[in-house]
Amino acid sequence: MTAVKMDMERARFNMIEQQIRTWEVLDPAVLAMLAAVRREDFVPEGLEALAFADLELPIGNGQRMLQPKIEARILQEVAIKNTDIVLEVGTGSGYMAALLASQAEYVHSVEIDPVLAENARQRLAATGVANVGVETGNASQGWSGAAPYDVIVISGSLPELPAAFLQQLKIGGRLMAFIGEPPVMKARLIVRTDDQAFNTIDVFETVVAPLTTSKRPGFVF
């Protein structure tokens, strides 16, 4: 093993032990996902050394990757099964899609920025992830294409959750979203328990960037 690879593995181990576990993420399946899916393959070139840092990394056009501990909490809350069909809103770098796909049957990921979408497709292909489809479009009001879904993950914050998302969940389906506006937002888990019944839990408070709802004209890093 080369020194660089050893450093990466040590950084990955430290991320899991010092950031993830201390943030109440103890599910063995989630920890295994974080160990197996190489985060450094999904950060912009030149930022690999920061792939495991406890911060949001810029990925271009003003967009950022979520902190690793928040990604981990999302995974723990939605509890992916190998039969799940997943909708991810906001592909970003493709890392969360890769994590979801490592356990799910298939992930439909939608990214409004065409350059970010293409970059994510390339990263997913390069890392051998075959059960993700990245589509370019605006899914901020829902995405009916493959609905209903077992799991919906919305990677940016919304002032309130559009009702369309609830109707696109299967009964028993789980949705994770960031709802509200600064300075306080709720990381909210919603489970559809019946045709018109939903169980809502505010899991933790945080602040994340708003979901992009309009196309950006170009790529700026």
Q: How far apart, in Å, are the Cα atoms of 9 and each of 38, 49, 56, 121, 158? A: 9, 11, 20, 25, 35
Query: What is the pLDDT confidence band of residue 216, given thresholds at 50, 70 and 90?
Result: very low
Say what the pLDDT of residue 3 is: 72
Least trusted range by pLDDT, from 45-54, 120-129, 132-141: 45-54
What pLDDT is attached to residue 217? 39
Under 8 Å between Cβ of 159 and 180: yes
The pairing of beta strand 106-111 with beta strand 169-181: unpaired
Within the chain, where are the H helices? 3-14, 28-36, 68-78, 95-101, 114-126, 163-167
Average pLDDT over residues 89-116: 97
**Higher-confidence residue: 1 or 146?**
146
Q: The tokens of 133 are what? A: 């489809």
**Mean of pLDDT values over 141-149:** 96
Average pLDDT estimate for 191-202: 97
Task: Indicate if the pLDDT at residue 95 is higher than 60.
Answer: yes
Which phi-psi region, left, alpha or beta, contains residue 139 (left: φ > 0; alpha: ψ -120 to 50)? alpha
Whether the per-residue pLDDT at 73 is higher than 70: the answer is: yes
CB 139 within 8 A of CB 116: no
Average pLDDT, the chain: 93
> Can you give the pLDDT at residue 1?
63
**Contact status, residue 94 vs residue 134, Cβ threshold 8 Å:** yes
Domains annotated on the chain, with CATH: 3-206 (3.40.50.150)
Residue 40 confidence (pLDDT): 96
Cβ(31)–Cβ(15) under 8 Å? Answer: no
Cα 200 to the center of its chain, rounded Å: 19
Check residue 42 and give its pLDDT.
Answer: 97
CB 104, CB 85: distance < 8 Å: yes
CA dihedral (145, 99, 104, 135) in degrees, to 10, reads: 20
Instruction: Identify the pLDDT of residue 213.
Output: 81
Q: How confident is the model at residue 214 (pLDDT cuts 50, 70, 90)?
A: low
